[in-house]
Structure 1
Amino acid sequence: QARTNLDALQDQARDIIARNIAALLAKPDPDLIEPLRLDAAYSASSQIIDAASPFSMDDLCTAAKGLCDLLDAAPRQGGFDWRIATVHAQAMKVLLSLPPEEQAARTAILTNLHEVLRRKLPAADQSAG
């Protein structure tokens, strides 16, 4: 019974993750000012972490945390390169779809995302990821 309940919660978590990835990939409202768009993306990424962490989806948490770090460091007056958010969201979509045994693919995705972080946040911990 406990396993059935846990599986149902994991399905719910995956749905939450998928919805937040879709929100990150959605075409933005043209009337949404930059600080609110940054906040919305940060919220979506945070919700991915919240949904993924209880189920040891560490790669999704790492990707979402990296995006949170980038969004947190973004200039509030505009100028954030939104392609970075799109790349992270697409990577999270792939991570969500990969079977657990595809560790090499997961590692490659996280390595590439870490490289984005390293380039965009020079103070980022070089050993992380």
Structure 2
Amino acid sequence: MSRDRTDARGTIVYDADCGFCTRTADWVGSHGTATTQPWQTLDLEPLGLTVDDVTTAAYWLDADGRVTARGAGAVAAALRSCRGGWRVLGHLVYARPVRPLADVVYRWVAANRYRMPGSTDACRIS
């Protein structure tokens, strides 16, 4: 999976069982050009993804439906699909010097998503 290819017309794949993830995906969908797709509605096998993959990280599909980013990279791509300062933030998150920190922050948020606003019991990753 390439971390350098993104397309503002792509799709963020998220966990619809998690209230925090759903609220975040809804926000992305209303602020940018990206579409949002819960993993529960996708055939994961042709994408090369497993249930474990999509319950532990968000994924970015380019305009052709190929997986091109996961985790912080997927969030950065989604932000780059947004307008104004959010687009700038997406480029910053994806910048080579910031990317390692963004990955750490993403893993922490994913592990603690059940503590985030809008979370539900389903947000807890086992």
TM-score by length of 1: 0.33
- The answer to which structure has the higher strand fraction is 2
- Identify which of structures 1 and 2 has the higher relative contact order when contacts are C-alpha pairs closer than 8 Å and 6+ apart: 2
Give the helix-richer structure, 1 or 2. Answer: 1
